[in-house]
Structures are given as structure tokens and as C-alpha cells.
Structure 1
Amino acid sequence: MPDTGSGGGLGLPAPPPASASGAASASASASAEYYASVERPYSVSLGKVSATADERLDLRALPKSPPLDDDYPAAFATLDLDELAADVDAVLTTSQDWWPADFGHYGPLVLRMVWHCAGTYRVADGRGGAAAGLQRFAPVDSWPDNRNLDKARRLLWPVKRKYGRRVSWADLMVFAGNRALETMGFRTFGYAGGRVDVLEPDDVYWGPEQAWLADERHRGVRELDEPLAAEQLGLIYVNPEGPNTVPDQYASARDIRATFRRMGMNDEETVALIAGGHTFGKTHGVADPQRHLGPEPAAARLEDQGLGWRNTHRTGAGPDTITSGLDGTWTPTPTSWDNTYLEALFGYEWDVALSPAGLWQWVPRGGAGAGTVPDAHDPAKRHAPTFLTTDLALRYDPGYAPIARRFLEHPDQLADAFARAWFKLTHLDLGPRERYLGPLVPAETLPWQDPVPASPARARLDLGALKSRILGSGLSRTQLIAAAWASASTYRNSDGRGGSNGGRLRFEPQRSWAVNDPASLAQVLDVLTGLPGISVADAIVLGGCAALEQAAGIPVPFTPGRGDATEEDTDPEWFAPLEPIADGFRNYRGPRARRPSEHLLVDRASLLTLTAAEMTVLVGGLRVLGVVHDGSTGVLTATPGVLTNDFFVNLLGTAWAARTPETFEGGGWTASRVDLVFGADARLRAIAEYYAADDGAGPFVRDFVRAWDKVMNLGVLNLGR
């Protein structure tokens, strides 16, 4: 969403930026001199932004900080949402001198803040989104697409300060977005809390580029590399001018569709979000941002206290605000919900034009629409509407246009579609519905929430009899363990999707994924489906645990309580992104994999919440158990199917030679890049040596079983109750 508003606050206002005071010319001049004389280089590496070494504090030497509040649901339960709404509404409608509100209302600014926070979500790995409030931290807080959203968060600080641990920043931001819509006349679909405050961001791969707005992520005809969703580094979605600033509405539609689909939205949801969001606010580009804006928050001066993009243009705020460099207002009623966005989109013919900052945008042909749009700060001024290339895409793309015209003719359908799409956008990464908190949670269960019926109440299970029946079925240990791993290892801590609950392994698309060895999996499912007194989801895990118990020679814990999802609630297209492009735990690398296999292993381990030691022991154990995609690579043991430390002993005791970029040979064994990294990386080698020692076999088996049990239970709430 392009920039749609500027500044407000409740209680004590935030410290104003130096250039946003009333007498700004002197400070603007001083600021210009300062930025002209001091170079502030930064680099982007795996999405991390760094200023000069003497000014950018590096906390990586310290242990990661866990959430400070270990019982957030209890704290949230004491929150009076009506009182919170009144306080947020006061912020939205009380303009602050240090950052004056466009049209006297901060609703559009806060709406953009929440949209840009939630819009980082991507279906490929579940990362991004509103739940962690990543927009508070680098690099997301410093993306060019997020210019001046630091002001929106600062305006909400008095509210956050008042309520403290009763509402997390992420919950407050989403709530404020809903209140922004409500105060502008729109009825929202609902709201759920449950996003716990984090104190530092997770490491997220945002792209290979080393500079803002660079684009090295496309192959072929603008095919995005996975798991990326945004079209350029530093954008939430797409370039509003058009692909690489070319004002082509058809090419823009192609980028919009690719990006929004990778963020979980279909065509109707996409049109609803753009049309609904651009009903409000304006863009800001009265002057060139490259000339007048200072460093982003991650590179700002200490005395700026986290506020970036110091503006040296005149007063630096209000009518002089600079954000994207685009400049204009969409509708005659920019703080009211109505259908005027679509009326303007289809009511005028449009010509491309340049904003005052020199960026491509669109204006009505022949001077039409003059005087129909209000000025954001001067009631005596009126303007013509201004649209973006991304807006024109909704009118001309053959897929989007019929939807947009239907919404034009049926405003009630737009209102319903936008309400549902906004709820989805802001709740998509919150996790299972059971995690939703508060009295405003909608009663309706939605398909994208991956519903799983509760495990039915059953008499006490005869686990011994069930294990005997499974183990006597003729299935191998490897088959049973592989099926359990295939089910549970789909879990993603990023958005709570996947995992063993639901037993969706028996449905498409999972049962046909190449990584799951569909022929072997079908044999397992034939045996485990319909066992008496137990859900199929539980039976899949129980079968793996029973086989592992035989292979390990020690008890393996199992806790029942998983429910069985229905095939009707398992849309193949929606679940397709859970398919791993690579799974180093099973020595699988699919045709879509681009990054090195060992990097993708760490990425998957991170989604499974595994430590380096847990990742290491699981790889070593799955190898000797024969759970590998091709049946042989990395199985460094003479006794496959028995849980031993042979993988580490033979890995570290063999001289290896490369045969291909992905495969290595030595001592009669074949291994992969993932296998060899446990001997090549010093940190992983230290763990491998611990397990490869003569007294390492016992700890290895014990630790493998513990890590296995952790993965089997990931994402299953109230297990065993």
C-alpha cells in the first residue's frame, strides 16, 4: 500500500523531529549541512541493515531475549477493549503539531502502518506478518516502503505506555488498524489478540540484494525466487509506479498477482484490499525524497531516538511531508468509507503524469476532476484525483477488471470482501484459531484457518495393542518413521501452520509430494487409516514412535490428542506452499531450490524451533534409520534401521571427494552437502564429535528421542487433555 497519511497522539506527544517544529528553516538548513557532510553507508545482508560501525549498536554478542511476559493471555484477559478503543480513537482524531494529521485524521496513516506490517507475510515459509510486529525492528522499520510509519508507531506510544503488558505492540497495532477503519465509517469483520511482544526480530531472508529497491530476485519472465514475495528489496508488495518504475498497468497487474498470491490472497481479495485501502488517505511527494530525506531509522542519529527520514523540505511535516515521492489523493472523501475510489477509477480516462518529485502517476484526462478532491491541510484548496499505476491495473487487467466492476455496481459486496480480506491479512500468521484471544473473535471459522476438529473423547487407548498391530502389519521401521516425520515436519513456527495435528498427510497435496515417497506412504496410510479408537493423525505419530522404539531400544514417549481434519477443509492450493523446496533432514532437494542445501536445512530447522544440537542429532538419526529421499545418500551405516551414532563416526572418519556440486563420495559411501556440513562447519562439527565419540552412542540415542518427541508435538495445542 503506498503512503496514505501523516501524523497524531494521546497524552504526552512524542519528541518532535528537529525539522518538524514551527520554525523549521534554520533546523532544515543545519540538517542539510549535516547530511551533506557525513556519509552514512549501510549494507543489506540477509535483510540486516547496518550503519557505520561506530554508530550502529550490534547486540548479536548477547543471548537472545525471550518474551518478558510469560503469561500474556492472562494479562490480555484483563484488558477493557472498549476503554482501549476510546483511547485509540482519541489518538486517531487529535492532530499533533509535531506531525499534523492529513485531513485532521490519522486513520489513513495508521491503516497504512498496519497494512505494511501484516503485508510482509508470505505463504512460502509463513514468515513476516503482523504477529511479531517486525515493523518495529530493522530492517523492516527502515524499508523505503515504510517511510514515516515510525511516526505512526510513535503516536501510539502513549496508549502502549498506559496499557503496558496487557496489550502487545503487535496486538495494539492491529487493533488500531481496525479502529482506524471503524472511525472512518467501515464495519470490520472482527479482531483477535494473542500476538506476544518480542524484543528482537527473527532473522528473515528478505532477498539477495545489497541495496534498497534493488531487484536480483527474478528469473525468466519476472518469476520470483522462493520464498520471496515482494518485487524489490524494501517494498511490501510492488512498485506503485509500475515494474521497475515503468508505468505499465498490464505489467503491474502481473506483478500484483504474483505478489498477492505469494502473500495468501486470491484475485477477489487482492482487488478488495487495494480498492478498500485506497479509499482512504493520500500519497506524499511534494519534493524529491532522495534530496530531502535523511537516513532511515536504523541509521539515524542517537538524538533522533528512533525516528528516521528527517525532512529538510520547508517545515518537514504537514503539507511538506515527503514519503514515497508520489503525491495526490484518490477520492473526494479520504477519511470516509464509500465507493468513490471505484467511481473515480472507472469514471475518468487517465493519463500518465509526473509527481512534483518526478515519479510516474496518473491524472484524469483533459483536466477532468479538477476541484473534486480536498487538500489535506488547507480547506481553501481543492485538487483533481491522482491514481497510481497499480490502481489502473484493477481497471485494465482481464482478471481484476470484472471483479472491480462488480464491486462498483455492488458496494455491499466490496464491503464484505474488504472486511474479510482485511481480517485475513491481519490474522493470517497468528496461528490456529485456538490461539485467538478476546471477545471480538468472529464466530465463523474460515478456510484459511486450517480448521481441525478436536480429538474426540475416547476410552483409554490400549497403546500396546495398537503398537503390536502396526508393527505386525509388514511395514518397515523406515516406512513408519518416514511417515510420522513427513506429517509432523510440515510445522512452521512462523505462522503455526502444518504439523501432525489434522493428519492431512492422507490428503492431497501432501500425499503426492515427491519428498514423501508417495508409493511407500500409500502403503502406510492403508494400514493406519481406520485403526480402532484412535485418530489417523495420532496413528501416524504412534506408528513412527513404535518403530523408533524398536530401533532405539528405549521407550519413546507418545501423547494422543490429535484430531482428524476433513478433506473438504484441505484445499490443495492453500496447502501447496507447505511443500518443502528442500528438506535436508531427508536429504531432499527439489527442482525449485535456489539457495545452498545446507542453508535451506537451517531455515527448515528454524521453522521447527530446533537448536543446532537438535538439528544435528535429528539429521544423524534419520540418516541411519534410512529416512532419506533416495534411500541411500547419507545412510552412513551398515545397519540401516537401527538407531546408532554411525552417521557421525563414518562422516568424520572418511576422506571425501566431490562428484557433483551436491554429492560427495568416500569410503564406499555417498553423501550430500547437508551431510558434509556437519564435518565442515566448526560449530556443527563440535556437536558431531560429541556424538561420534566412543561414549557418544548413549547420549545420541537419548537426545534423538527427545528431539523426535518435540517435533511430533509441535503445534498441537492442549495435547493429552
Structure 2
Amino acid sequence: MSMDANSTTRGGQCPVMHGSPTSARTAQAQADWWPRALNLDILHQHDTRTDPMDAGFSYRDELRQLDVEALKRDLKALMTDSQPWWPADWGHYGGLMIRMAWHSAGTYRIADGRGGAGSGSQRFAPLNSWPDNGNLDKARRLLWPIKKKYGRRISWADLMILAGNMAYESMGLKTYGFAFGREDIWHPEKDIYWGAEKAWLAPTGSEGSRYAGSRDGERTLENPLAAVMMGLIYVNPEGVDGQPDPLRTALDMRETFARMAMDDEETVALTAGGHTVGKAHGNGDAAQLGPAPEGADLHEQGLGWNARSGRGIGRDAVTSGIEGAWTTHPTRWDNGYFDMLFGHEWTLRKSPAGAWQWEPVDIRDEDRPVDVEDASIRCNPIMTDADMALKMDPLYRPIAERFHRDPAHFSEVFARAWFKLTHRDLGPKVRYLGPDVPAEDLLWQDPVPAGRSDIDLDAVRAQIRASGLSLADRIATAWDSARTFRGSDKRGGANGARIRLAPQKDWAGNEPERLARVLAVYERIAADTGASVADVIVLAGSLGIEEAAQAAGVPIAVPFLPGRGDATDATTDAASFAVLEPLADGFRNGLQQHFAATPEELLLDRAQLMGLSACEMTVLVGGLRVLGVNHGGSRDGVLTDRVGVLSNDFFVHLTDMGLSWTPVGRNRYELRDRATGTPRWTATRVDLVFGSNSVLRAYAELYAQDDSREKFVRDFVAAWVKVMNADRFDVPGAAWSDRRASA
């Protein structure tokens, strides 16, 4: 700590109270002291106190004032406006801007929908300091004058992706389209698990390795991870664990790209299209680089990887350690990548920074790219191990050869794959904004036809009441339909009623036999009334809530928004939806299999994906328990003798000191009368955590109070409606979409 020379403190101590309760060090120490304590931080990470925008701020409204064409012109002008503090390769920043956009979007993974470009998270740790994101801090600083100029009318999240699009267009690619609509976050995301390794780029077998068994086996990569190493976006460019072997690298590529929602054709197109322009940087000693941005000194002002000696810029820059361009003309969109790949034999060599790379055995001088600073100097082109995989792998090679023969086809496939890469986590098309949104509906966008909002709701209600379906049937079906929603990539939810289609109708967590019986009734009601099945499902559940609240003596109307549509098999990618299967749902006390994570940790994960706060999660669990909607009719956690009444009994009995808890099996406990030892109820870890965790117990005690019966019902209904409407992006203000509204 810097101090004035004449300053003195008792005992030579720094006067700042580093150990005060408000310091970050105390929070870390608390985790050290009680490492098994349930951490609820992921449910509170984006509350309004971190958001500097005014309460009435609407990014959608600001976008309406954006001069899109002027912004595009400014971005294209930026591409060739080389700055001496970080000069552009060949006078064109296209390759750098494309890599920035790619690495922003490329963190997306399908298992939990997290990562991706939708929040501008590349500005924060750990992403801003990942080894694979080396020198992308420079790309964002180059963009700063444009961000400053357009201000709140363009988010960082949108700007970074649009910069990649404009880079490609400035070099000759006809892009497929672009959509605005990504809203910025204002501090790091705590909900994303990036791996358990203790070091960047840790090889297989190291502590916390994400691989189980042989790296040559299929599907060995730990879920939900998609990258092969901590700190990488995809695969190691030098080869598996840094050892060149294109066929083994192809296995890594196939798995990691599949986990990012890409098939083999898209993988080949993206690899080739990304390497058609720009270059890799390794013309120097990586050991001479300073720390990454998050660890850099104050005077470096958030810039990292600065050279401690030498120039460290231009031709002397070091990023990946690999050195060279892939094509003869790295600032031009053409078919030069395939010409180079198939037109030469390649051999392994080391870059000046010591990284493995492939270089041509023999090449004409005129086919070599020129130096980034001096066009009179010719340099060898390079290929990474991933590039060589496109030539050697028996599945990738025919695709690459087809692209080589048909450049127009390659350009079209790449443009579509690039659009998918950069928009996969943006959600349904109704969230897309701007003049360049493609008219075509794409299967990976999970299209849902518009529903009717003019249905006779009273007629639908009457048929639901006369259906003979139990309250539990109605509420459980509505919950199961809506609970698939995840705010990470805005997929799932009740809209579309995909619970009646494969694969959802057959998921064990949805109790297929019960579900089929209930859906048969709903489909008849929908046919008779003109309502969508999706609306009938949600309305029936909401009616059940109203009846249960009435039975508790708290009459309340559950708000309902009609207008949901019904998806079809033709508009549903069944394989893509398989990752949404709820193998654990603490809300209905269902656990299809045991995991390394505890049931209560799995509950937190699901609650966070659904956009719920800790309080909302608490009230929903307590309410769903007394409503008797547990998976398979289980009585675990149903702490009431009035099943079907929306009472606060769950919390009353959970906090009753006249009762004690006793473990009676794996994830099973018995609640007994302390005086007599008589068993009263059973429960699971998910139930007990609301009494054992100090934060959750505070909520449980609130709802257990005698004066909280009405509040409990009101809060349950509000949380229920939030879940039911989470995917209603077609109704402004109704959906989960605004983080500020959900905080």
C-alpha cells in the first residue's frame, strides 16, 4: 500500500481495515471456514444495485433511436484506421475483431445454455483474462471510441458481435444477417462453471481434470463443459494436451463443437471461415509478457499481456504462440484457405515462441502471405492441428473438399453457421431487433407459431373445471411444461406446449403415463374452444392454484396471459431439446439419478436458470409441497395434513422445535415428535436445506409466521406467474428477458 513518507500508523499497520465485514477477504474466509455451506450467490448476482442505468431504462427503446447504418459505416472505417499503440495487421483489424466476436459467442454450451455473447461478459473476469482471449482487450479498447459515441443506444454485447460481422463484410463476405437485443451485465457472472482445474491449460490427468478415462474414448468430457481445457474456447491449437495429432484433435473438435450446437459441416465451415482471414501471433518470447488484464498493475488500466521487453506489437506480437497467417491474402474473403490446405504437404515446426504449428514443405514465394508491416517480406503460412484435422479426418475431409470445389456453397454455409454461432444464445426470434433480422425461421431458433389472444377464457375455464382432473394433475402438468425454461439461452418454457412432443412427452421426470392422460383431456378442450394446448395447460394450472388458495381462506385471482402457440414435430429439433430434460427438480422433489452435486445444489442451479431469486425459490418449494405435486406422488416433504390447500404448513412444521429430524437413508429423513418419537413426515435434503441454511431459514421463518399466511399466498402466486410467463417474449414486460426486472 502506498503511503506518504511522513505518515505513521500504530505498529506499522496499514490503516485500512482489510478484515472488516465489508471486505471481499471476509467473504472468501467465510467460504474457507465453512466450505460445505450452500452458496446462494448465484441467485442474487445481477440485482439492481449493480446496474448503473436509470430505473426506467429500456434498451429496446434506445435501439429504436440508433442510426444503424451510421454505426456500420463507423465500424467499417475502424477496420482500416490503424492505431500506433496497437497497429492493425496489414492495416486491417478484421481478423482481431472477428476473433473478439467469435470468442464472445464461442463460450456457449448446450448442456446448460450458459456462456455465449448475450451479456457482454467478455469484459469481466475470468473471460477477460483467459489465455485463449489474449489481446482481445486491445480489440475492445479499439472499439471504445465507437461505444462512447453511440452510448446507451448500443450495448457492448451487441457491438462486439456487430464488429465481427462488419469485419467480414469489409473483407468481402456476404453475411446472413444480424440481430440486436443483447443487454449488458455489469459485473462477472458467478453462475457459470468453467471447470475444476487449478491451473490454466491444465493437461489431462492434472488436478481437477475435466476428462474421465481415456481422451480417445467418446463423450469423456465432463458436463456441462464444452472446451477441452481451462482457459480455451474450443480445442488446443497445438494438439491434444499440446501434442500434435490431427486425428485425435478431430475427436476433440467433434465433441466440443457438438456441445456448442454445431454439426460436422458447421464445424468445418467455421474452422475454415475463421482461418480464411487474419493470423496467429507468436513472433516472440511469451515469457516476456506481463500478467493478464485482471492481474495487471493499476497503471496498465485494464490492459494485459503487455511486453516487458521488446516491441510486443505488430509483427512482434505474441498471443497464442503460433505464428503466421493461413492464407495468401489474409484480409480478403476467398477460398484461399482450402487452396492452401489441399495444395501443399505440411510438416511440423516450432514457432519463434516455441509452439507447434504446421508449415508447408514446399511453397512458391508468391503464395506466401506478406509480412504484416512490410509487404516486401514474404512469410510462411501455417496450419494448426485443428486445420490439419480437416484434411486428415475421414468425416471432415469430404466436407472440406466439397467446400473447396464450390466456394459459393462454402460462403453460404459459413455465413449461416456464423449467424448461428453469434445468435444461438439470443433466444427466440421474437427477441431479435433491428433491420437486418433474416425473415427465415430456423429450426435451432425453436420457432413457435403465434397463438390466439381472443379466446373465450370463461369457456375454457368451465371445461377445465368439468374435466375431472385433479388439482395435482393440473398444477404438476403446468409446472412440468414451464420448468424447462432457462434464462441462459432463453430456451424451453410453456409456450409451444412441447411437453406433448418428443422427447419431452417421454421424459421420466414428466411421468409419461400421467402426462398422456392429462394431455388427452387438454387437447379435447383446445379443439372445442379454439385455444392452444399451451394456453390450456397454463390456465388449468393457474385455476388449480386459485382453488388451493381459496381453500386456504385467501381468495386470489392468478393473472393469465393468453396467446401461446402450439409447436409441431416439424418445428422441433428433438435431439436439441434432449439437453433440457430435468433429471433433478427439487421443486417437485424429483431426482432421476444421483449426481456429484447435492440435490440442494441442483435445486439452486435450476432456480438460477429459471431466473428465480432465493425468496422466490423458497416460496415455490413450500407451496408446491403442500399442493401435493411431488414427482411420482412421493410424500417426502409434504409437511401438511391438508394436502391441496395452499397453506404455509411446510414452513410451520419445518421450523417447529417440537419435531426432530433423523436420517433414515440416502437423501431421506424422518421428522418425529420429540416427546413421543412418533414419526410424522419424511423429507429429502432439498426440504431440510430450508431449515439448515441460515439465509433460507430466514425466509422459511418469515413464511411460517402467523401473520404471513396471506403474504405467502401472494408471493407464491407472483412467483408462479413469473415461471409461467418466463418465455413470453412476445408480450413486452411479461417475460424473464429483462435482468433488471427479475432482480
TM-score, length-normalised on structure 1? 0.88
The equivalent residue for 1:547 is 544
The equivalent residue for 1:197 is 184
1:473 corresponds to which of 460, 467, 474: 467
Aligned in 2, Cα 1:187/1:363: closer, same or farther, shift over 3 Å?
A: same
Query: d(CA) in 1 for partners of 2:572 and 2:131?
Result: 37
1:372-411, CA deviations, whole angstroms, 9 ceiling, x for partnerless residues?
2222222122122210111111122222121111111111
Query: d(CA) in 2 for partners of 1:251 and 1:381?
Result: 35
The equivalent residue for 1:35 is none
Asked whether the 8 Å contact 1:65–1:199 carries over to 2, the reply is yes
- Between 340-349 and 159-168, report the one with greater CA deviation: 340-349
Q: Is structure 2 residue 428 aligned with structure 1 residue 443?
A: no
Query: d(CA) in 1 for partners of 2:451 and 2:667?
Result: 43
Q: Is structure 2 residue 295 aligned with structure 1 residue 307?
A: no
Residue 564 of structure 1 aligns to a residue whose secondary structure is coil
Query: d(CA) in 2 for partners of 1:414 and 1:296?
Result: 36
1:658 corresponds to which of 656, 659, 663: 663
Amino acid at match of 1:185: G
1:226 corresponds to which of 184, 203, 223: 223
The equivalent residue for 1:513 is 507
Amino acid at match of 2:488: S
Asked whether the 8 Å contact 2:448–2:496 carries over to 1, the reply is yes
Asked whether the 8 Å contact 2:471–2:544 carries over to 1, the reply is yes
Aligned in 2, Cα 1:380/1:353: closer, same or farther, shift over 3 Å?
A: same
Aligned in 2, Cα 1:75/1:311: closer, same or farther, shift over 3 Å?
A: same
Amino acid at match of 1:526: A
2:101 corresponds to which of 90, 114, 120: 114
Q: Is structure 2 residue 668 aligned with structure 1 residue 683?
A: no
Query: d(CA) in 1 for partners of 2:242 and 2:79?
Result: 33
Cα offset, 1:259, TM superposition: 1.1
Q: Is structure 2 residue 400 aligned with structure 1 residue 397?
A: no
Give the alignment of 1:437-586 within 5 angstroms.
437-456=433-452, 458-459=454-455, 461-463=456-458, 465-531=459-525, 532-553=529-550, 554-555=555-556, 556-586=558-588
Asked whether the 8 Å contact 1:369–1:385 carries over to 2, the reply is no
Asked whether the 8 Å contact 1:329–1:373 carries over to 2, the reply is yes
Cα offset, 1:341, TM superposition: 0.8
Query: d(CA) in 2 for partners of 1:413 and 1:564?
Result: 34
Query: d(CA) in 2 for partners of 1:187 and 1:560?
Result: 40
Query: d(CA) in 1 for partners of 2:731 and 2:163?
Result: 34
The equivalent residue for 2:14 is none
1:211 corresponds to which of 195, 199, 213: 199
Asked whether the 8 Å contact 1:284–1:321 carries over to 2, the reply is yes
- Between 630-639 and 422-431, report the one with greater CA deviation: 630-639
Asked whether the 8 Å contact 2:475–2:541 carries over to 1, the reply is yes
Q: Is structure 2 residue 240 aligned with structure 1 residue 280?
A: no
Percent identity between the two aligned chains: 55
Asked whether the 8 Å contact 1:313–1:320 carries over to 2, the reply is no
The equivalent residue for 1:628 is 630
1:69-125, CA deviations, whole angstroms, 9 ceiling, x for partnerless residues?
622222212222221122111211011111111111100000000000011111122
Asked whether the 8 Å contact 1:370–1:384 carries over to 2, the reply is no
The equivalent residue for 2:604 is 602
Amino acid at match of 1:68: M
Give the alignment of 1:237-316 within 5 angstroms.
237-289=234-286, 291-316=287-312
The equivalent residue for 1:7 is none
Amino acid at match of 1:628: N
Q: Is structure 2 residue 118 aligned with structure 1 residue 95?
A: no
Cα offset, 1:599, TM superposition: 1.7
Query: d(CA) in 2 for partners of 1:329 and 1:680?
Result: 58
Q: Is structure 2 residue 145 aligned with structure 1 residue 158?
A: yes
Q: Is structure 2 residue 723 aligned with structure 1 residue 711?
A: yes
Cα offset, 1:462, TM superposition: 3.7
Cα offset, 1:63, TM superposition: 6.2
1:363 corresponds to which of 353, 356, 359: 359
The equivalent residue for 1:36 is none
Asked whether the 8 Å contact 2:475–2:544 carries over to 1, the reply is yes
- Between 685-694 and 578-587, report the one with greater CA deviation: 578-587
Cα offset, 1:481, TM superposition: 0.6
Cα offset, 1:142, TM superposition: 0.7
Amino acid at match of 1:260: F
- Between 655-664 and 395-404, report the one with greater CA deviation: 655-664
The equivalent residue for 2:591 is 589
Amino acid at match of 1:130: A
2:162 corresponds to which of 130, 154, 175: 175
1:143 corresponds to which of 130, 146, 152: 130
The equivalent residue for 2:13 is none
1:611 corresponds to which of 613, 619, 633: 613
TM-score, length-normalised on structure 2? 0.86
Asked whether the 8 Å contact 1:273–1:421 carries over to 2, the reply is yes
Cα offset, 1:220, TM superposition: 3.5
1:15-71, CA deviations, whole angstroms, 9 ceiling, x for partnerless residues?
xxxxxxxxxxxxxxxxxxxxxxxxxxx9xx9xx9xxxxxxxxxx9899642361622
Query: d(CA) in 1 for partners of 2:664 and 2:377?
Result: 72
Q: Is structure 2 residue 50 aligned with structure 1 residue 65?
A: yes
Aligned in 2, Cα 1:68/1:597: closer, same or farther, shift over 3 Å?
A: same
CA RMSD of aligned residues (A): 2.3
Query: d(CA) in 2 for partners of 1:92 and 1:305?
Result: 24
1:698-721, CA deviations, whole angstroms, 9 ceiling, x for partnerless residues?
322221111111111112134499
Query: d(CA) in 2 for partners of 1:706 and 1:478?
Result: 19
Cα offset, 1:661, TM superposition: 4.7
Amino acid at match of 2:318: I
Cα offset, 1:466, TM superposition: 2.4
Aligned in 2, Cα 1:409/1:689: closer, same or farther, shift over 3 Å?
A: same
Aligned in 2, Cα 1:638/1:369: closer, same or farther, shift over 3 Å?
A: farther
Aligned in 2, Cα 1:249/1:600: closer, same or farther, shift over 3 Å?
A: same
Asked whether the 8 Å contact 1:478–1:627 carries over to 2, the reply is yes
Cα offset, 1:473, TM superposition: 2.2
Amino acid at match of 2:670: E
Question: What residue ranges of structure 2 are gaps of 5+ in the alignment?
Answer: 1-24, 32-43, 203-207, 673-678, 735-743
Cα offset, 1:287, TM superposition: 2.7
Asked whether the 8 Å contact 1:370–1:383 carries over to 2, the reply is no
Cα offset, 1:366, TM superposition: 5.6
The equivalent residue for 2:369 is 373
Residue 706 of structure 2 aligns to a residue whose secondary structure is coil
1:128 corresponds to which of 112, 115, 127: 115
The equivalent residue for 1:53 is none
Question: What residue ranges of structure 1 are gaps of 5+ in the alignment?
Answer: 1-41, 49-58
Query: d(CA) in 1 for partners of 2:297 and 2:419?
Result: 37
Asked whether the 8 Å contact 1:561–1:719 carries over to 2, the reply is no
1:640 corresponds to which of 640, 643, 649: 643
Cα offset, 1:639, TM superposition: 3.0
Residue 655 of structure 1 aligns to a residue whose secondary structure is strand
Query: d(CA) in 1 for partners of 2:661 and 2:342?
Result: 66
Asked whether the 8 Å contact 1:368–1:384 carries over to 2, the reply is no
Query: d(CA) in 1 for partners of 2:281 and 2:300?
Result: 22
Aligned in 2, Cα 1:308/1:111: closer, same or farther, shift over 3 Å?
A: same
Amino acid at match of 2:501: F
Query: d(CA) in 2 for partners of 1:210 and 1:683?
Result: 30
Query: d(CA) in 2 for partners of 1:415 and 1:115?
Result: 17
Asked whether the 8 Å contact 1:471–1:547 carries over to 2, the reply is no
Amino acid at match of 2:53: L
- Between 359-368 and 527-536, report the one with greater CA deviation: 359-368
Asked whether the 8 Å contact 2:46–2:185 carries over to 1, the reply is no
Query: d(CA) in 1 for partners of 2:536 and 2:542?
Result: 10
